[in-house]
Amino acid sequence: MADFQIDDTVDITDVVCPLTFVKAKVAIEELEDGQILSVKMNDGEPVQNVPRSLKEEGHQILKLISNDDGTYNLLVKKVEE
């Protein structure tokens, strides 16, 4: 993860859909344009849906990193409209 300067982290591993999206969106909305959010989430539905959801909001998906424990860290760069 050293390639990117992480500005904030949100852990949504213990959150049920659709709150996962809400929590991730709120966290990225609090950042400045160009800052990077790391979203920690479980494998399965969150990994399939959260990146797509954030991309649809216009943010840039940088990287999805497997943590080898059934969780992933998604790095998202905030892009202002």
Catalytic residue ranges: 17
φ and ψ at residue 65, rounded to 5 degrees = -115, 125
The rounded distance, in Å, linking the Cα atoms of 51 and 64 is 9
**Max Cα distance, the chain (Å):** 35
